[in-house]
Structures are given as structure tokens and as C-alpha cells.
């Protein structure tokens, strides 16, 4: 079996990581066509599929929902965060997989496909920290690799996410110290 062409091996690895995100979807968007596959329903993730000497990248298990995409054509990937109406005007977190041609995506011309978080917010509008955090951890795992980048809004959101967690940790620590002081511990 001959391996399909791979423009950027780091991007292929990133596809595997993105497909492992929980509460996310693989999105293929073209003029008048929008296809979403829930990542948690894509079983085996990204595999090489071979039939009669033809090899292709398959996303999902053969016996369930799946698709074949030329993942090897993706030269780069970019992490984005921008307000969208489907998230109530809040940030939508997406990894865009980009090609060096017009991919006919009406939103982003060079976007072959993307993986986006479905509902990264609670009913009260607060962020699902673990769901959003997995996107930030994925970026950190690939940060600095050739062809992998993040837009400024994503980096700002990631920095704010970390600061919020640091503040919570400090508050928890201070709260513990205050409780100890109230109980006369350490005095």
C-alpha cells in the first residue's frame, strides 16, 4: 500500500488530536453545504484506508458515520476564537485545517475543514472550563511546530483562561489560610 502524500506531518498529527476533542464537531463547509460529524461518534478517528490499491485518509469507522478527506493536502492549521451567533455572541473555538488553494469554503477560502467546539458554555452562559481547556491544551501541544499557529483572539482567550484559573487557585489558597486563621491554626 502506498502512503498518500503528506504536506505537513504535524498537521496530520493535529487532526488526530482535534478528532479526540470532546463535545466537538468535524465541519466541512462549502457553498450551500454544511456537514458536521460529532467527534465522539467518529470511533477510530483518522486512519489510512486501502482498497484495491487505492489509499486514502478516512475519518471515522468504516461501519459507522465516516468520510474520506485528503488530510495530507493540509499545509497548515490555525487555532481561532471569535464571537458567533450560534454561541450567543460568545467565542467559538475552532481549529482550521488549511490548504494552499481555494478550498471553496465561503467563510474562509483556504479552509478545507475544521474542528470546532459545539457548546463550550453552560446554560447560565459561563464557560465549560474543561471543554475549552482541552482546545488550549491541544494548541500548547503543537505550539511552535511548523505550520501550526493561533490567531491573536485565540491567544488572548487562552491567556485569560489561564489567568482566571490562577486567580481561582490563589483565592482557594487564601480562603484556606483565612479558615486556618479563624480557627487559630498557625498563630
CA 26 from centroid of its chain's CA atoms:
9
- Does CATH place domain 9-151 in 3.40.1570.10? yes
pLDDT tens digits, 66-111: 888 989 899 999 999 999 888 888 999 999 999 999 999 999 999 9
Higher pLDDT pick, 151 / 178: 151
Q: What is the Cα–Cα distance from 158 to 137, expressed in whole angstroms?
A: 9
CB 122 within 8 A of CB 26: no
pLDDT > 50? residue 161: yes
Please state the pTM of the whole predicted model.
0.82
> Above 90 in pLDDT, residue 39?
yes
Under the banding of pLDDT at 50, 70 and 90, the label for residue 173 is low
Q: 88: Cβ–Cβ under 8 A, 6 or more apart, which residues?
A: 121, 125
The pLDDT of residue 179 is above 50? no
Is pLDDT above 70 for 154? yes
Q: Take residue 18 and report the three cell numbers written for it.
A: 482535534
Report d(CA 68, CA 102) in Å as an integer.
19
- The pLDDT assigned to 50 comes to 82
**pLDDT level of residue 169 (50, 70, 90 thresholds):** low
Residue boundaries of the structural domains of the chain: 9-151
Quick one: pLDDT band at residue 163, thresholds 50, 70, 90? low
Where b means 16+ CB within 10 Å and e means fewer, 36-63 reads ebebeebeebbbeeeeeeeeebbbbeee
For the segment 23-36, the average pLDDT, to the nearest whole number, is 95
Pairwise pLDDT comparison (126 vs 181), residue with the higher score: 126
- Mean pLDDT, range 3-29, rounded to an integer: 91
Which pLDDT value is given to residue 162? 64
Amino acid at each position: 500500500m502506498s502512503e498518500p502524500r503528506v504536506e505537513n506531518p504535524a498537521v496530520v498529527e493535529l487532526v488526530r488530536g482535534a478528532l479526540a476533542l470532546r463535545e466537538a464537531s468535524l465541519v466541512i463547509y462549502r457553498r450551500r453545504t454544511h456537514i458536521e460529524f460529532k467527534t465522539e461518534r467518529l470511533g477510530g478517528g483518522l486512519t489510512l484506508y486501502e482498497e484495491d490499491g487505492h489509499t486514502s485518509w478516512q475519518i471515522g469507522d468504516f461501519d459507522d458515520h465516516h468520510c474520506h478527506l485528503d488530510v495530507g493536502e493540509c499545509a497548515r492549521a490555525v487555532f481561532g476564537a471569535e464571537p458567533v451567533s450560534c454561541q450567543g455572541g460568545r467565542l467559538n473555538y475552532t481549529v482550521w485545517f488549511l490548504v494552499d488553494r481555494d478550498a471553496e469554503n465561503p467563510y474562509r477560502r483556504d479552509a478545507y475543514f475544521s474542528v470546532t467546539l459545539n457548546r463550550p458554555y453552560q446554560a447560565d452562559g459561563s464557560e465549560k472550563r474543561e471543554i475549552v481547556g482541552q482546545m488550549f491544551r491541544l494548541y500548547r501541544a503543537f505550539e511552535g511546530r511548523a505550520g501550526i499557529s493561533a490567531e491573536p483572539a485565540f491567544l488572548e482567550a487562552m491567556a485569560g483562561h489561564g489567568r482566571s484559573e490562577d486567580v481561582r487557585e490563589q483565592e482557594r489558597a487564601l480562603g484556606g489560610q483565612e479558615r486556618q486563621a479563624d480557627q487559630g491554626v498557625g498563630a
